[in-house]
Structure 1
Amino acid sequence: MRILIADDSVLLREGLTLILGDGGHEVIAGVDNGDDLVHRALARKPDLVISDIRMPPSHTDEGLRAAMTIREQWPSAPILLLSQYVVLSYATELLASGSGAIGYLLKERVSDIDEFLDAVERVAHGGMVLDPEVVAQVMGRGRAADPLAALTPREREVLELMAEGHTNAGIAKRLVVTEGAVEKHTQRIFAKLDLGTDAEVHRRVTAVLTLLG
Structure 2
Amino acid sequence: MENNFDFIAIEGVIGVGKTSLAKLITERYNARLVLEQFEDNPFLPKFYDDRERYAFPTQMAFLASRFKQQQKMLSKDLFQQMTISDYIFEKDRIFARLNLDDDELALYDSIFEIMTGIAAKPDLVIYLQASVDRLMENIRQRDRDYERQISRSYLEELSKAYNHFFYNYNKSPLIIINTSEIDFVSDEKHLDYIDEQIFNQPIRGNTQIHIIPD
Pick the TM interval, shorter chain: 0.3 to 0.5
TM-score, structure 1 normalization? 0.38
TM-score, structure 2 normalization? 0.38
